[in-house]
Amino acid sequence: MSRFQWCAIAVCVLLNTLDGFDVLVMSFTAKTISGEWHIDSGTLGLLMSSGLAGMALGALLVAPWADRIGRRPVILIGLPVAAAGMMLSSASQNWQQLAMLRLLTGVGIGAVLACSNVIAGEFASRRWRGLAVSLNSTGYAVGATIGGISSVALIDHYGWRSVFLAGGLATLAVIPVAFLLLPESLDFLLSRRPANALNRVNSLARRMGQPMLPELPERDASKPRSAGGLRRLLAPDLRRSTLVLWGAFFLVMAAFYFVTSWTPTLLVEAGMSSTQSLTGGTLLNLGGVFGTALLGALAARYALNSVLRVYLFVSAALVMIFAASTGTLVLAFCIGAVIGVAVNGCIAGLYALTPSVYPTPLRATGVGAAISVGRVGAIIAPSAAGRLLDAGWTPLALYVATGAVFLAAGLLLFGMRRKQPAPAASRQVSPARQS
């Protein structure tokens, strides 16, 4: 792993930091917005879900273009869309306008999220791929933590609109950074071979400290040259792994976004102040920074699938315990931080596992589809939680149900094929230098 490779991964981490802020901005501002516009829990759940719906569209419809035109161009398209959506959200006059702008923001974020995870995995060596993608997910937790801390100060002094504006300006500022420092994927160049591919490959090889190639290596005739579209994900050789991944993404994303979106609001209903509830939500995200990094370190030594299952089972137990601890402030905060370690690690594990399942020409399509299916669960969960609260469900019952969802996802992963196709990213430019 050269310094250049780690630099490319660091840019992806930065992109995910913005994603963490942008995606959870509704969680940070929900109570203030509902008070100003006098909206009920069901409508608030719809607002929380609108950004996730946009992410599903971006991951499903925009991200697959990364298998055709490259990972870097799609990211550079998604960033301005997300920035515009965030800044315009700060000027919303009603919840309907905000919902539509959150949808637009989500489209940009969904495209960036899928492609940044693919690039992080493709620039990492085989040994460090799990850590690289997990660090990428750490960026999400860092962004969510920064968002929670800054939201307290911004809302107190400037109102909820300032939180959206700050996120939009930060996203806008990162565009030139991505343009200058984010390289195109080596795997994409070798597989798709766009114009001037040899020179671009040699430029990357030089920056990675590897020898130049006189010509591009011969194609493997047994491997597809094009993505083949979403239908290819359900071909006989990939169907089982794809369906297991889709099921796991759906369940884990539903549980994760319920926990991260509703915890601050439900802590208020349990008797805490708004400031205490935001602190609890921030501690949950802060725990995610350590959880994702720990998962990556464990994945460098143990099978990622096994590590991920342990995370899921631990998350199931902790969420149920947390539901019974909200009456004691210190205990709730401590358990919330540990839950952050576990549930964020579950997301990081799924992101790290998915790129290894698919070949290079199908990788962005596969990751984007998995994220999109996951976002369906994420869309349903916050909205359904709002409806259930209106129907008389208690926070305790909701958290117990969420623990059962984590448990089901862990059991489902036992159905994953034990032998995965060798990722194309494990090959280096020169056969003499294997990672």
Written as one string, the DSSP assignment of 341-390 is HHHHHHHHHHHHHGGGGS-GGGHHHHHHHHHHHHHHHHHHHHHHHHHHHH
The rounded distance, in Å, linking the Cα atoms of 71 and 394 is 44
Residue indicated by tokens 């959870």: 24
CB 191 within 8 A of CB 70: no
d(CA 134, CA 313): 19
What's this model's pTM, rounded to 2 decimal places? 0.76
* Cα(270)–Cα(212) distance, integer angstroms: 63
pLDDT at 420: 44
Q: Which of 324, 352, 336 is nearest to 140 (CA)?
A: 352
Helix, strand, or coil here: 298? helix
In 60-215, where does DSSP find H-type helix? Answer: 66-69, 71-89, 95-122, 129-158, 161-181, 186-192, 197-207
Look-up of token digits 């539901």: 323
Q: Quote the CA–CA distance of 92 and 105 in Å, as a whole number.
A: 13
- Give dist(CA 391, CA 385) in Å, integer: 10
3-state class of 23 per DSSP? helix
For residues 7 and 129, the answer to whether their CB atoms sit within 8 Å is no
Place of tokens 């094929």: 417
Q: Residue 430 has what pLDDT?
A: 39
Tell me the pLDDT of the chain (435 aa) as tens digits: 788 888 988 999 999 888 788 777 887 788 788 888 888 877 887 887 788 889 889 988 998 898 888 899 999 999 999 999 999 999 999 999 999 999 999 999 989 988 988 888 888 877 777 777 777 777 877 887 787 778 878 888 888 899 999 999 999 999 999 999 999 888 888 888 888 888 888 888 888 888 888 887 776 655 555 555 678 888 888 889 999 999 999 999 898 878 776 666 666 665 666 666 666 666 666 777 777 778 878 887 888 888 999 999 999 998 888 767 656 666 766 777 788 788 888 888 898 888 888 888 888 889 889 989 998 888 887 678 778 877 877 777 888 888 999 999 999 998 876 544 444 433 444 333 333
Q: 123, 428 in Cβ contact below 8 A?
A: no
Q: Report how far residue 315's alpha carbon sits from residue 338's, in angstroms, rounded to the nearest whole number.
A: 9
Q: How far apart are CA 150 and CA 339, in angstroms?
A: 22
Cα(111)–Cα(13) distance, integer angstroms? 15
**Structural domains for the chain:** 3-214+227-418 (1.20.1250.20)
Nearest to 275 by CA among 329, 345, 236: 329
